[in-house]
Structure 1
Amino acid sequence: MVLGAAVGAAIMYGIVSFFGPQSGQMQNVELRPDDLKLVALGKKVYDANCASCHGAKFEGQANWRERGDDGLLPAPPHDETGHTWHHPDAMLFALTKYGPAAIAGNDYKSAMPAYENTLTDEEILASLSYIKSRWPDEISQRHDQINQSAAQQQ
């Protein structure tokens, strides 16, 4: 529990630092789960780059909340049982593009790669929009509220 709080605090510090005034482009990231063309591209991107760890049905890996023997956290689910929807769009985009260490600090260990040199910004946006398009309406609406709160804090 304490470790989780510490990691959460580190991530929040990283968000505040990362999404400062100089990061205008990141602040304008908005997932588009209703854009059918973008979501179709996102499915292809997700299947090719994300499903092998996060699951074809967004189920994540077993025991995703507990570090493995290698010290890494397994890939979390991207469905409503995971924590993906707890983060604003800009943070999800940054985590995907730059990797968790760029947000939480270089000491944070994760198997999640940075996709900055693998995927275009559009492909990252598409994959995240695809994920959101699969959430139940209630979760999607709660995520929209998180985005609104994040926008008000800027």
Structure 2
Amino acid sequence: MISSALVRKIGVLVISVVLAGLVWLWIADNSFGTSIKLLPGESSVVRLGKKVYAVNCASCHGDKLQGQINWQQRNANGNLPAPPHNETGHTWHHNDKLLFDLTKKGLKVIAGADYKTNMPTYEDILSDQEIIAVLSFIKSTWPEEIRTRHDAMNKAMADSEK
């Protein structure tokens, strides 16, 4: 005979797996489905992005994209400091569409609505073109090897959608 405690644990596990699957499907549908292409080789886009970054992003992420000190450790209020957007950070680990969504809609896109963060959403502040310009500026500063790896990741993501 199976104990009621074991049945409850199994039920919680099943519900957790189902919820995790639903979250993954939602993220995949909302983050990867529409193509966004950064333009780090377009000088006019990069110039605009540099200006928009200076006004909206540099105060937290640094004027040299260096991020805040101890960016991988939560601070006293439980938030993570702003990460670097240069090659030492993890920005380039994410595809263009996810970077766009994170900037526009906030970290709730991947971490959930209850995630504690100081990162604002820019949906009502920046246009889609300004967000693409900022991200294009950031990408334009990465070493060629990292840009190539990032491009390959974006291509693999696009190929998987076909």
Global fold match (TM > 0.5): yes
The 8 Å contact of residues 31 and 98 in structure 2, kept in 1 or not, is answered as no
CA distance in 2, matches of 1:64, 1:98: 21
Note the aligned Cα RMSD (angstroms). 2.3
Report the alpha carbon displacement of residue 104 of structure 1 after superposing the two structures with TM: 1.6
In 1, Cα distance between equivalents of 2:64 and 2:23 = 29
Letter matched to residue 146 of structure 1 = M
- 1:62 and 2:69 correspond: yes
Q: How many residues align?
A: 143
Shift of the 152–43 alpha-carbon distance from structure 1 to 2, 3 Å rule, reads: same
- Give the AA of the match of 1:17: W
The one-letter code of the counterpart of 2:121 is A
TM-fit CA distance, 1:19: 3.6
Q: Secondary structure at the match of 2:150?
A: helix
Note if 1:101 corresponds to 2:108.
yes
Q: Which residue of 2 aligns with 1:53?
A: 60
Does structure 1 conserve the Cα–Cα contact (< 8 Å) formed by 2:32 and 2:98? no
- Are 2:43 and 1:17 aligned? no
Question: For the pair shown, which has the larger CA radius of gyration, 1 or 2?
Answer: 2
**1:142 counterpart = 2:149:** yes
Partner of 1:91: 98
User: What is aligned with 2:126?
Assistant: 119
Task: State the distance in 1 between where 2:80 and 2:126 align.
Answer: 23
Identity in percent: 52
Unaligned segments of structure 1, at least 5 residues = 1-11
Inter-partner Cα distance in structure 1 for 2:73 and 2:90: 14
- Where structure 2 has 5 or more consecutive residues not aligned to the other structure, the ranges are 1-20
Distance 1:115 1:147, change over 3 A: same
Deviations 1:34-78 (A, max 9, x none): 011111100000000000000000100000000001000000000
Q: 1:25 to 1:142 in 2, by over 3 A?
A: closer
Q: Deviations over 1:17-43 (max 9, x none)?
A: 1341xx599621010000111111000
Q: TM-score, normalised by structure 2?
A: 0.81
Shift of residue 108, structure 1, vs aligned partner: 1.4
Measured in 2, the distance between the counterparts of 1:129 and 1:100 equals 19
Asked if 1 retains the 8 angstrom alpha-carbon contact of 2:104 and 2:131, the reply is yes
Once residues 61 and 15 of structure 1 are traced to their aligned partners in structure 2, the CA distance between those partners, rounded to angstroms, is: 30
Q: Distance in 2 between matches of 1:142 and 1:90?
A: 16
Measured after TM superposition, the shift of residue 102 of structure 1 is 3.0
Report the counterpart of residue 41 of structure 1 in structure 2.
48
Letter in 2 for 1:30: K
